[in-house]
Chain A
Amino acid sequence: MTAALAPPQDEAQSELQALKRAARARRVRFLSRAWPLLAILSALVLAALFAPWIAPNDPLRQNLMGRLQAPGSEVRGVLYLLGSDELGRDLLSRVIHGARVSLLVAISSVLLSGVVGTTLGMIAGYLRGWPERIIMRLTDVFLSIPAILLAIIAVAVLGPGLVNVVLVLALTRWPRYARVAYAQTLALSNAPYVRLSRFMGGGTVHILLRHILPNIMGALIVVATLEFGLMVLFEASLSFLGLGVQPPTPSWGAMLAAGRDYVATAWWISVFPGFCLFLLVLAMNLLGDLLRDHFDPRLR
């Protein structure tokens, strides 16, 4: 009865209030579940940022007399807290510096492929017609080429190195974003507010950036989070195939690949970087799952 008597304005007001409350509740629930993951990720990011100050030793300094030392050994006054690798380098320092490489590769390749893929996908979904045909066929073409092939070609033509690893990863992964952005844009392009904006003379760029991008961001962030873990794993696989970041630069993937030969005798070489890599990928993937639930209206 009281609700019926209340003026319509108040009703809208309270509905808005309720929506806001629900949104806040969802955010709180998300954070309450995500904080351990965010803590792990922050720790890894901090390690990467401050690697030179945290690492006890030079990650590149070899000591052929102190190879394959077990964790806690001391050789010539150098304490190997996590042991030493196949060239007598301090594993702890390499693991800390390795965070830089792994994060840098993953972040830059996700950003690059995300930006390229989203742009192309939105264009295809909004403009339709021949841009749509060309772009979507191009995604099919790129999805059909083995990533390893592109990696080898990039290394052979452009030369090896960190930048090229990122390029290869971006080159092979942009179609994922393009497809998601395309499908979402397609669904939105006839939404009333987009039509209104177009009617009022909004330019394509304006509409894409102001009206469409903010609304498809959620889906894209979920893809990017899940892709992030894949990028870390992919960089590791490239190292295993000898096409990754150049030695002696420490990357978790390369350390893990080198450590495979020592699993039975010097487990620490692969287990410590492997554990870090595992934590990073796991945390990102779980975060991706949480974000997916967070953005999924059916699960609210």
Chain B
Amino acid sequence: MMKRQRIIAALLMSASLSWASAGAAAAKDLLTIDLVNEPTSLDPHVQWNPDSYFVYRNIFDNLLTRDDSGAIVPQIATEWTYLSDNEIEFTIRDGVTFHDGTPLTAEDVAFSVKRITDPGFSSPQLSQFNSITDARVSADNKVVLVTNGAYPAVMAQLVKLSIVPQHVVEAVGNDAFNLAPVGSGPYKFSDWSRGVSVTLAVNEDYWGDKGVFKEAVFRAVPDAATRMANLQAKAADLVVTINSDMAAQLDGRDDVKVLSVLTERVAYFALNAQKPPMNNPDLRLAVAHAMDKEGITEGILGGYDEPVGQFMSPAHFGWVDGLESPGYDPDKARELVAAAGEEAKVPFPILTSPVYDQRVVQAIQQMLTDAGFNASIEMTDMATWLKDMQAGPEGIPVSAFSRWSCACQDADGILFPTLHSSSGWASAGDTALEAALEAGRSTLDEEERLAEYTKAQAILNEQNYLIPLYQAAIIYGAAAGLEWTPTPNESLFLNRMDWAE
């Protein structure tokens, strides 16, 4: 019996040693990152999915990028000038080469734009680039992009435009390119073990800041509790998407730390202004007064997130200092509900999906119940949630907890799709509001645009078609040695990370 025990112990020991030695080597050369899911594709033009762009944004360079503070700065384009309201000329950086050694040219840039905007290619990102009608090479190192009319958000969109090599894509075809992507970024694609991980290797010839890790592994770990365990067991150096209570578990440990940043994602309470009881403006005001935003951000979310009084973040263009939507006032909420009588008693659902923080949703339901509403949580899966939420005024549920990011930091990207009746998400049907939103997107004049968005927000604050709640933070768990400033646009740029023992 004793002998058998010793054998088992020995087996366990040998298994653990081989594993631990792999972990020790990871500290310097290999960075292990735990994502939620596997990337769906590494071709930057064929998907719109966070787990994919966490990875491929390290393989590819974009036309422009944002620095750590969120400002738009040059990447492949070094400078740009407006030739007219709808024509912009970009100068392409010299000396950039793809991972196969060929130089990146203006033709590659024009090809990339045409590829992603080709309706036949049907890129999921088409909607973000389809106001670009043409891309032509105007000189050796210059590309002119033509938009259909003035399109103020174009620069913010070009931050997401990855440059692919024309010669490779045309030689191997889209499917093969997806399996073995070639870019010009700080890391090269190395290996994709399906379902397990994607491995990238550092690009020693990168034109910009080179990565310090020789290799980086992105793994798919769907369960947040497991990601936390991986971090604590040192099997991962960086884990994404943990919540504030998990972050609190890392407090007081000296081998792991919490990294967090406010993103441009805004959490809000969506209402269908056409369905009872929320077709009554007084009751929408009551909902606004019932929301204890501080209670949510401080009480549940651990203070990482920031309550907002506008349906955007201070990082958005269109933010107006001093503008505030109706604030927390539970007494007034109860009064308004009581005054509405039977109308307020209509039961209604709060649509949600497991992706959203259920602590917040349950707290919101409690706040509505306290105010006198009869709301119940209705959980569904994400596909159904998205379908219902974009079903137009007839189909949109009476209320839902949602978070919005256009990845463009512009009022147009958040107000227009949620409030303009041309969008499936919108139910407000307010012509004055829509006029302001249309005016705001059709000029490049910043003062004029700001005036329109001020107008739009004033209407929103009066009508409460939706209730802005807070600017969401993104929380990462990291090994203590990892030195990295997370960016508001939720990207993981490996060459902006460093390691200190």
Contact = CB atoms under 8 A, between A and B. Distances in A.
With most chain B CB atoms within 10 A of its CB, the pick from A64, A263, A264 is: A64
B365 interface: yes
Q: Which of A62, A241, A258 has the most CB of B within 10 A?
A: A62
Contacts of B249: 264-265
A262 B245 contact: yes
B353 interface: yes
Contact of A160 (B300, B361, B365, B380): B380
Interface in A235-275: 241-243, 246-248, 258, 260-265
A246 B381 contact: no
Interface string A155-171: 11001100000000000
Interface in A18-69: 60, 62, 64-65, 67-68
Q: How large is the interface on A (under 10, 10 to 19, 20 to 34, 35 or more residues)?
A: 20 to 34
A243 B381 contact: yes
Contacts of B376: 246
A155 B366 CA distance: 24
A242 B379 contact: yes
Contacts of B228: 261
A90 interface: no
Nearest to B360: A87
A86 B224 contact: no
A101 to B, nearest CB: 15
A263 B361 CA distance: 22
A260 B378 CA distance: 22
A98 B384 CA distance: 28
B383 A156 contact: yes
A64 B300 contact: yes
A242 B358 CA distance: 10
A246 B379 contact: yes
Contacts of A86: 245, 359
B354 interface: yes
A159 to B, nearest CB: 7
Nearest to A65: B299
B149 interface: no
A155 B381 CA distance: 8
A67 B225 CA distance: 19
A276 to B, nearest CB: 21
Contacts of A67: 299-300
A237 to B, nearest CB: 13
B168 interface: no
A248 B366 CA distance: 9
B359 A246 contact: no
Contact of A261 (B243, B300, B381): B243
B122 interface: no
Given A65-B299, A247-B358, A261 B246 contact: yes
A260 B225 contact: yes
B362 interface: yes
Contacts of A265: 245, 248-249
B246 A62 contact: no
Interface string A219-242: 000000000000000000000011
Contacts of A64: 295, 299-300, 363
A277 to B, nearest CB: 18
Contacts of B365: 248
Contacts of B225: 260-261, 263
Nearest to A245: B379
B377 interface: yes
B248 A62 contact: no
Interface in B287-332: 295, 299-300
B251 to A, nearest CB: 10
A107 interface: no
A263 B246 CA distance: 10
Interface in B241-278: 243, 245-246, 248-249
A215 B358 CA distance: 49
A207 B225 CA distance: 55
A81 interface: no
A65 B224 CA distance: 25
Contact of B245 (A155, A247, A248, A261): A261
Contacts of A262: 245
A62 B243 contact: no
Given A87-B359, A87-B363, A262-B245, A246 B300 contact: no
A155 B362 CA distance: 19
A242 B381 contact: yes
Contacts of B358: 247, 258
Contacts of B383: 156
Q: Max chain A CB contacts within 10 Å: which of B246, B359, B377, B378?
A: B359
Interface in A148-198: 152, 155-156, 159-160
A89 to B, nearest CB: 9
Given A87-B300, A261-B245, A265-B248, A156 B363 contact: no
Contact of B362 (A152, A160, A247): A247
B362 A87 contact: yes
Contacts of B380: 155-156, 159-160
Interface string B217-251: 00000001100100000000000000101101100
17 contacts: A62-B366, A64-B299, A67-B299, A68-B245, A87-B362, A155-B384, A160-B378, A241-B354, A242-B354, A243-B379, A246-B376, A246-B378, A247-B358, A247-B379, A261-B224, A261-B243, A265-B249
Q: Kindly list the 5 A-B residue pairs having the minimum CB-CB distance in the complex, ordered from nearest.
A: A242-B354, A64-B299, A156-B384, A62-B366, A160-B379
Interface of B: 224-225, 228, 243, 245-246, 248-249, 295, 299-300, 353-354, 358-359, 361-363, 365-366, 376-381, 383-384
